Amino acid sequence: MANTTNHSGLKRGGPGRPKGAKNKVTLERNALEEFSAYFNSAEYVANARARIAAGRAPHLEAYWLPKFYGKDVTEVKGTLVFKWQQ
C-alpha cells in the first residue's frame, strides 16, 4: 500500500528530525551528568558547607530542612548547629 500522506506543507519535506540534528535526550543526559559531577565534587560540597555555616545559603537550608524534618516544618526556633564529618 502506498503512503499517501501529504507532506507538501512541511519545510523540510517530511515528518521527523532533520538530517544531522542532535538527539535531545543525549544532550540532556550529558548536561545532567556534568551538573551531577559538579554538585558532587569535593570543592562544591566544601563551599556549600561553608556558606551554610556562615548563614549565606538560605536557599540550601530551605531545600534540606523539609527533607530532613518533613514538609510540615514551617519554623525553626532556637539555635541550629550543623556538624560535618569527613
At residue 4, does pLDDT exceed 70?
Answer: no
Q: Which DSSP letter does residue 38 get? A: H
Give the model's pLDDT for residue 13: 60
pLDDT at 65 over 80: no
Give the confidence band of 57 by pLDDT, cuts at 50, 70, 90: confident
Q: What is the DSSP string of the chain?
A: -------TT-TTSSSSPPTTPPPHHHHHHHHHHHHHHHHTSHHHHHHHHHHHHHT--HHHHHHHHHHHH-TT-----S--------
Q: Give 35 or 66, the one with higher predicted confidence.
A: 35
Q: Residue 76: CB partners within 8 Å, gap ≥ 6?
A: 65
pLDDT tens digit sequence for 27-44: 788 888 888 888 889 998
Kindly list the domain boundaries of the chain, sorted by start residue: 24-69
pLDDT-based confidence at 21, cuts 50/70/90? confident
